[in-house]
Amino acid sequence: MCGDLEDDDGDSKLEEILYARFVAHARALLANAPSAQEVPTDNSRYMEKLFTDALSRAVKDCEQAAADKRYERMIAQPVVFARLAGFLAAHMSLGEDPLRRVMEALMLGYSEAEALDRERRDYDHGDVSVRS
């Protein structure tokens, strides 16, 4: 039983670190977000604004949860966004290769998080708690 308590404490500490990493990465990406309130006409800008709007909403939703539920809320969000991506992709022409486009975007998200980790290691020599 004693070991169970230690595992729970270790899990919650890891969850805190992972959540802090998410918030740090999100804030870094949102710092460069387009500020226009209107929907851009250029498709690339539109996609970037939609991404940052969704990310901003995801962070706000997590921050509004009780402190001990933020990680739980954060890890539920990719499932919702994956469902949405699948729903939208199901309406694309097969000639557009929807699965490939969605998978490429998923991998881009992973690489952005890794790049932000590398940047933090290069520039931030202090706070270790938000690194992976």
Structure tokens at 128: 């270790």
Q: Is residue 64 part of a domain?
A: yes
Q: What number is the average pLDDT over the span 83-98? A: 92
Structure tokens at 94: 């097969």
Give the lowest-confidence range in 95-99, 111-115, 128-132.
128-132
Burial class of residue 70 (count of CB atoms within 10 Å of its CB; 0-12, 13-18, 19+): buried
Segment holding 37, helix H or strand E = none
Q: Is residue 46 part of a domain?
A: yes
Q: Is residue 92 part of a domain?
A: yes
**Domain count of the chain?**
1
Would you say how long the chain is, in residues?
A: 132
Q: Is residue 58 part of a domain?
A: yes
Q: Is residue 91 part of a domain?
A: yes
- The pLDDT, as a whole number, for residue 7 is 53
Task: Show the domain range for 99.
Answer: 2-123
pLDDT in tens, 62-77: 999 999 999 999 999 9
Q: Is residue 131 part of a domain?
A: no
